[in-house]
Amino acid sequence: MIPRPLGLLAELTHRCPLGCPYCSNPLALEQPATELDAATWAEVFRQAAAMGVLQVHLSGGEPGARRDLEDITDSASQAGLYTNLITSAVGVDRQRLQRLQARGLDHIQISFQDLAESSADHIAGYRGAHARKLALAASAAAMDLPLTINIVIHRANIERLEPLVDFAADLGAGRVEVAHAQYYGWALQNRAALMPTRDQVDRAVCLIPRLRERYAGRMAIDSVVPDYYETRPKPCMGGWARQTLNVTPSGLVLPCHAAQTIPGLTFWSVREHNLAEIWTASPAFTAFRGTDWMQEPCRSCAFRQEDFGGCRCQALAVTGDAAAADPSCELSPTHAELRAMAEKAAASAESAYTYRGRNRQSRAIPIPVR
Which residues bind to ligand SF4, rule: CB under 6 A?
16, 18-20, 23, 25, 60-62, 88, 111, 232-233, 297-298, 301, 303-304, 307, 309-310, 325-326, 329, 331, 356
**How many whole angstroms separate alpha carbon 293 and alpha carbon 210?**
40
The residue (of 110 and 278) whose beta carbon lies closer to ligand SF4 is: 110
The residue (of 49 and 242) whose beta carbon lies closer to ligand SF4 is: 242
Min CB(203)–ligand SF4 separation in Å: 25
Min CB(209)–ligand SF4 separation in Å: 24
Min CB(327)–ligand SF4 separation in Å: 9
**In terms of Cα–Cα distance, which of 125, 94, 95 is closest to 367?**
125
The residue (of 90 and 100) whose beta carbon lies closer to ligand SF4 is: 90
Q: How far is CA 187 from CA 131, 153, 310, in A?
A: 24, 12, 18
Residues in the chain: 370
Min CB(51)–ligand SF4 separation in Å: 26
The residue (of 214 and 238) whose beta carbon lies closer to ligand SF4 is: 238
Where would I find the H helices in the chain?
38-51, 69-78, 94-102, 117-124, 129-142, 161-170, 185-189, 191-194, 198-214, 275-281, 283-287, 304-307, 312-319, 335-347
Cis before 61? omega within 30 = yes
CB within 8 A of 51, min separation 6: which ones? Answer: 4, 5, 275, 276, 279
Min CB(83)–ligand SF4 separation in Å: 18
Min CB(60)–ligand SF4 separation in Å: 5
Min CB(210)–ligand SF4 separation in Å: 28
Min CB(59)–ligand SF4 separation in Å: 8
The per-residue b/e assignment along 73-93, b for 16 or more CB within 10 angstroms, e otherwise, is: bbbbbebebbbbbbbbbbbbe
The residue (of 13 and 200) whose beta carbon lies closer to ligand SF4 is: 13
| Residue 63 burial (C-beta neighbours within 10 Å; 0-12, 13-18, 19+) | buried
The residue (of 7 and 17) whose beta carbon lies closer to ligand SF4 is: 17
The residue (of 13 and 282) whose beta carbon lies closer to ligand SF4 is: 13
In degrees and rounded to multiples of 5, residue 125 shows phi and psi of 70, 30
Sign of the four-CA dihedral 68, 74, 78, 82: positive
